[in-house]
Amino acid sequence: MAAELPSPPFIDVPGIANFRGIGGHVDPGLIYRSADPTKASKAGLEKMSKECVESPPRDVRTEADIRESRSVMTLANARATTQPRSDLQHYLGIRVVFDLRSAPEIKRDGPEWAGVAVEDADVFEAYGIQREWVPVFAEKDYGPEQLAKLSSVHKVRLDGLRRRVPRHLEVRRAAYAKIFRHLAQPRPRPILVHCTAGKDRTGVLVALLLLLAGAPDTDIAREYALTDLGLAGLKPLFKERLLKNPALGGDEEGVDNMISSKPENMSATIEMIKEDFGGAERYVTEYCGLSEGEIKLLRQNITEGALQ
């Protein structure tokens, strides 16, 4: 991970891009997000799996410091005196990895799994981490490059993410429901949620969780936009591959737009969740089937220990 990435929320896990917590509105040790983690080094897998045996640093912040940290972007750029850097460098104790990728993505990105059933493509078991394959679309490639092709990237502008999200939420609600139910059980163990880039599918799931946690829409949009920092090292590769595709017409502006994580894209997505689905809580109850009691426990679990 590039040294200039702010910590928090980014965490240096060797071999994994865009690895971070999801902001101060939720328990900082419960939910993590990232790009594809299956190429993590041994050190990265150990950092993910081992549990911290040391007590976390004492919070020495003043009331003014705490108020200052309420913004996700303030949290992302906090000094060590506000949130000690060592607090995010210990082992993470992750016990479940939720993989939102499709079968074609897994097979393409992991040639070592040729001939292996997708649900068995697991590098985590040896480290005591359970892998749950919960694809948003099981048999369609929805990685960044393929999405660009499907969307005629040179015509896509700010509403690209918003146009895709309703189908994601309607068709694959079972994928998100499994994650919600894990977080709605008593004392849920820490999780990592990822897709290929850790951008849109992961971003929508995180947005729903942050809405349930009561985070302001602007903070959710800013959290999504942090992906531009997390993927900075991979963007040149994405762009090079996309521009080689003749169907995209060599449109650099369109390609840049597709691989970016603009806050206004997430703002439009949040608006859609409210207008089309009646908000996050209604989506989780009516579409994902969680009970009021489960939602209450989920909300309690994810906000306990939050910085806000």
Q: Side chain identity at 261, as an amino acid letter?
A: S
Average pLDDT over residues 245-256: 70
Q: Is residue 262 part of a domain?
A: yes
Which domain does 227 fall in, by range? 20-303
Q: What is the DSSP letter of 1?
A: -
Q: Read off the pTM.
A: 0.79
- Per-residue pLDDT reduced to its tens digit, 265-307: 999 999 999 999 999 999 999 999 999 999 999 999 999 988 7
Query: Residue 222 CB: number of other CB atoms within 10 A?
Result: 21
Q: Is residue 34 part of a domain?
A: yes
**DSSP labels, 5-25:** S-TTTB---TT-SS-EE--TT
Q: Which long-range contacts (CB under 8 A, 24 or more apart) does 272-275 make?
A: 272/162, 272/165, 272/166, 273/165, 273/169, 273/207, 273/208, 273/211
Q: Is residue 197 part of a domain?
A: yes
Residue 18 near residue 198, CB atoms below 8 Å: yes
Lowest mean pLDDT, pick from 29-33, 61-65, 127-131, 200-204: 61-65
Based on the structure, what is the number of domains in the chain? Answer: 1
CATH code, domain with 137: 3.90.190.10
User: How far is 274 from 277, CA to CA, in rounded Å?
Assistant: 6
Q: Is residue 10 part of a domain?
A: no
Q: Which helix (H) or strand (E) holds 224?
A: helix 217-225
Q: Is residue 161 part of a domain?
A: yes
Q: Is residue 186 part of a domain?
A: yes
